[in-house]
Amino acid sequence: MTMDNNLRELSIERVSRQFAGSVEQHLSEIYRTLSSESNHGLAKYFALAHGLPELSDDDSTATWVHLDDELLRTSPELVEFRYLGRAIYDGRWIFTSWPRYSFRDYFGYEDLPRTATFPGPHSFECECPACEQLYANLRGRSSGNRTDTE
């Protein structure tokens, strides 16, 4: 998932059909996805999600993910983007390395914009801030111009 400088979703795209066991083998694919035309050069943040056959229920998952996530944070290819973390699932369990609450509550994330969730479903006439932003973006793209909300 790529997000703009205000943490608004730009795209959710598949990087690879099969996770290779470490992000190291996927760095160039991740860069190509972040830099893709669908993001209009606006991608600033990204997060990943992938499956594994089985998650361990001990600390080894957290250790492995932390070390693997450091590759994303320190990769010269990805220096222009900020990595927020990932979700890993095995069909039964899920493990995440991104902050689970407000970014301001996590060391190193205090500078990030505030986020909000607007539970759905949303009607076609919904006037919540998330839907209004979407409508503004759609109007801007259909007219060929970008809007302030992009």
pLDDT in tens, 47-71: 999 999 988 877 788 899 999 999 9
pTM above 0.85, yes or no: no
Residue 101 has pLDDT above 80, yes or no: no
State yes or no: pLDDT of 149 exceeds 50. Answer: no
- Read off the pLDDT band of 144 (50, 70, 90): low
- Phi then psi for residue 58, to 5 deg, are -110, -170
Across the chain, what does the average pLDDT equal?
86
Q: How confident is the model at residue 147 (pLDDT cuts 50, 70, 90)?
A: very low
